[in-house]
Amino acid sequence: MKAALVGAGYWGPNLARNLVAQRGLDGVVVCDLDPVKLEKMKERFPSVETTRDFDAVLGDPEIGAVLLATPISTHGPLGLRVLEANKHLFVEKPLASSTAEARQLMQAADAAGRVLMVGHTFEFSPPVLRAKEMIDAGELGDIFFISVMRVNLGLHQRDVSVIWDLVPHDFSILFHWLKESPCYVNAFGRDCVQKGIPDVAFINLRFPSGVIANIEVAWLAPSKLRRTAVVGQKKMLVYDDTENVEKLKLYDQGVDFHDPETFGEYQLSYRTGDIVSPRLSNQEPLRMEVEHFFHCIQTGERPKTDGASGLRVVEALEAAETSLRTGHPVHLEGRRLDA
């Protein structure tokens, strides 16, 4: 079968590079409304066919799978048409621009018996996967809180807030690590540059287990920070995606509380032990993600980032955006994902 990539803007070429390298495909078709973008694609990847006609993609029986890298507002409507044309669907993050649209996509995929996968790229990233192994193995002990910074200068989007643009990454990472979705979302933000489009946001979350998290995102910042700190009862973990080699560091640090035996005895003891940076595989997350999509098509396996995973992220994004705009926290159901 052939695969089609729809959307050849900023992110599309990264998917195209991996599609062209994907074994077992009979060809790659790239579709975009903009002929200049298609020309650039053809220059960079001479083997791809190009078209401006989305209907032609849907009508081509040789195309069995479609990958959408178009603006977020188009994910729902274009994705629905792909599934109705009986083709497997990969949608870049976030799955849709509302929970209603995300649910429609899930229903359409079930009805057509086609694979639906969302591009939560970081769930395929070696440091995120290694951190999950450490958390699952109890190396950090019970997790107390998580603090995230994802800020840099640009790229300002014209149609969505910084929440819909950047936070899908952190929501997908946190929900994957903690195996739960939040029960409380509160967001605070501001539209500093373009009126009506918040470009900075501070989001607070609470999870059913009691874990709390803070996520700071901005398109306005003096330097690029991609730092997540996970503070556990036994150890602490820092994931810094801007580091070239030591992206993960596990700190054997913490504070132990002792019941005092004598009056006036100091009750806290501070531990400062080793800092360990585990060796990580250097596999490209996007490549793993694209391979996983085709593996699921071949085997009928459910993608690890399936429609339900996409819906959870969209639900929390919707809550954060509502909270930011109304000034009130939003309470969600908050579910254990392995229950």
Q: H-helix or E-strand containing 89?
A: strand 88-92
Stretch near ligand NAD under the rule CB under 6 A, chosen from 63-71, 231-239, 255-263, 312-320? 63-71
- Rule CB under 6 A: choose which of 18, 50, 97, 121 binds ligand NAD: 121
Per the CB < 8 A criterion, the answer to whether 228 and 145 are in contact is no
Closest residue to bound ligand NAD by CB: 9
Q: How far is the CB of 163 from ligand NAD (least distance, A)?
A: 12
Q: Counting contacts by CB under 6 A, is residue 92 touching ligand NAD?
A: yes
Q: How far is the CB of 84 from ligand NAD (least distance, A)?
A: 15
Q: Counting contacts by CB under 6 A, is residue 18 touching ligand NAD?
A: no
Neighbouring residues of 156: CB distance < 8 A, sequence distance ≥ 6: 193, 194, 197, 199, 219
Q: Counting contacts by CB under 6 A, is residue 70 touching ligand NAD?
A: yes
Centroid of chain to Cα 139: 24
- Exposed, middle or buried, 219 (CB in 10 Å: 0-12/13-18/19+)? buried
Per the CB < 8 A criterion, the answer to whether 304 and 314 are in contact is no
Q: Counting contacts by CB under 6 A, is residue 8 touching ligand NAD?
A: yes
- Nearer residue to ligand NAD within complex by CB, 57 or 238: 57
| H-helix segments, 85-125 | 99-112
Q: How far is the CB of 233 from ligand NAD (least distance, A)?
A: 32
Q: Counting contacts by CB under 6 A, is residue 56 touching ligand NAD?
A: no
Q: Counting contacts by CB under 6 A, is residue 87 touching ligand NAD?
A: no
Secondary-structure breakdown of the chain: helix, strand, coil percentages, each rounded to the nearest 5: 35, 30, 35
Task: Name the site residues for ligand NAD (rule: CB under 6 A).
Answer: 6-12, 31-34, 37, 54, 69-72, 74, 78, 92-93, 119, 121
